[in-house]
Structures are given as structure tokens and as C-alpha cells.
Amino acid sequence: MKKAVAIVILSVLAVASQFALSAKRPVKSPAVEEGIFAALGGLRSIVAEIVWFRADRLQEEGRYVELAQLAHALALAEPHTPEVWSYASWNLAYNVSVMMQTGEDRWRWVEAAMSLLRDDGLRINPSSAELYRELAWLFELKIGADLDDAAPVYRRKWREIVTDVERRGAWEELSMNPMVMNEIEAVYGISDRADAMYSAIYWAHLGLKHAKKGVDARMLETIVRQAVVIYRRRKGGAENG
């Protein structure tokens, strides 16, 4: 029985690795991967434990590209556990990205982290205040602030994406709702939708609708306050509200 279980686990991880996150091609979570893990039934918890153990070892060894691949597999094995999505996206945005030589290459990993949270994690866990917080943080700290020397590249790339989406009126591509956007523009007095701080405010604002009183709510409120201050400072105080 143990041998059979081991074979199943190895097979699953082998298939997942076909969709591995690589420096040249960060990927999303293909539906086929979710189906593979769903088919495991009761074995999912065993797979998750093995992947967690392996991920811890890789992190200790600083092998972040392999870690990103396993973290992606773990998120699919435990799709309704917000912590694994946070863990996977953090490794992409903060550990793997900085290993790349150019800002352009780093951006691919940051964008992959954003997509993982927004298009997969929040799609499966639409009421998770933690995932809204992680996504808002990514926009505020990784893209909007200057903690990464490639941040100007990230902001330029993001502005190009949003400008194109706004021109086509295709906000669904970014999972953003124009009605919510109008709401936060009225509440916070902001209007530049291509600014990374705008997105930080947007996702934190949505998260507050799902956050219970306590740490999550306080952290989301802090993100909003900080992002509004930085946004207005960069706009030279031109926008008030």
C-alpha cells in the first residue's frame, strides 16, 4: 500500500512539474492540475505533507526556483487554505524575482505572484481577507514602493497594462470592478487607475468588506492609509478628498 501511495504522489508531482514555474515562463494554475489533485481524494493531505516537508528543505537550502514550483503544487493540493497561496506568491515575488538579472525578468515573477493571488487564490477563496491583504501589500510594497531597485520597471509595466485595459474597457482581465473603482475614487479621492497605489487601495478596500474586527482589519486599514498618503504625495497634493 505504501509503495502504491508513493507512486501516486510521485506521479502527481511529476505532472505538476510539467507546469513548473521557470525563469522564462512563470505560469498560472492550469485547470488540469486542479483536476489531478482533486482526483487524489483522501491522498491530498499526504501529498500536501510531503510537499510541505520538501518545501521547508528547499527554503533552508535557498533553492527558491524549485521552491516556487513546489509551493505552486502545494497551493493546488490545499486550495482552500489561504496561507499556502500567500506562501507561494511570496516566494515568487520576493525570493525568486530577485534572483533574476534584469528588471524585465524580475517583473515576470512579480506579475506571476500577482496573478496567482488574484486569478487563482481569490477565485477559489473570494472571502479571504488574508489574500486581499497579500495582494494589496504586493502592490504597495513590491511595486509601489522603492524597496526593490527594479520597482520603477514594475510601475512602468503595470501602468502599460492598466492603460491598455482602460482603453479597451476590459477591467475583467484584471478582476477589477468599475463600480467598486468608482466607490473608492469617491471615498479616497484618487483617480489615477494606473498607479500601483491605486490597486493597493482597491484590493485592501475589498478585503475590508470580508475582514473581521481584529488584526486583518487593522492591517488592511493601515495599507489603505499608507497607500493614500504615498499616492497623494506623488501627485503633489493635486488630488484631495
Give the model confidence (pLDDT) of 62-81 as tens digits.
666 666 666 666 677 778 88
Answer for the pair 133, 220: CB distance below 8 angstroms, yes or no.
yes
Average pLDDT, the chain: 79
Q: Choose the weakest-confidence range: 52-61, 124-133, 161-170, 181-190.
A: 52-61
Residues 6+ apart with CB under 8 A from 46: 5, 9
* Alpha carbons 71 and 230: distance in angstroms, whole number: 32
- Nearest to 185, CA basis, from 230, 140, 241: 241
* Alpha carbons 239 and 192: distance in angstroms, whole number: 10
Q: What is the pLDDT of residue 6?
A: 41
Write down the domain spans for the chain: 1-104, 127-241
* Alpha carbons 81 and 128: distance in angstroms, whole number: 9
> Alpha helices of 138-177 — where are they, by DSSP H?
151-168
Q: What is the pLDDT of residue 1?
A: 46
Rounded to 10 degrees, the C-alpha dihedral 129/21/111/39 comes to -40
* Alpha carbons 23 and 96: distance in angstroms, whole number: 9
Provide the 10 A C-beta neighbour count for residue 2. 6
* Alpha carbons 205 and 147: distance in angstroms, whole number: 23
Cell digits for 38? 482533486
Q: What is the pLDDT of residue 68?
A: 65
Q: Map grid coordinates 492591517 to a residue.
A: 219
Name the amino acid, one letter, at 238.
A
pTM of the model as a whole: 0.75
Mean pLDDT of 29-58: 50
* Alpha carbons 145 and 68: distance in angstroms, whole number: 24
**pLDDT bracket for residue 11 (50, 70, 90):** very low
Answer for the pair 56, 9: CB distance below 8 angstroms, yes or no.
no
Q: What is the pLDDT of residue 31?
A: 41
DSSP state of 170: -
With pLDDT > 70 as the criterion, what percentage of the chain qualifies? Answer: 67
CA 200 to chain centre: 12
Name the amino acid, one letter, at 160.
E
Confidence check: pLDDT of 14 > 90: no
DSSP state of 141: I
Name the amino acid, one letter, at 120.
D
132-152 per-position pLDDT tens digit: 999 999 999 999 999 999 999
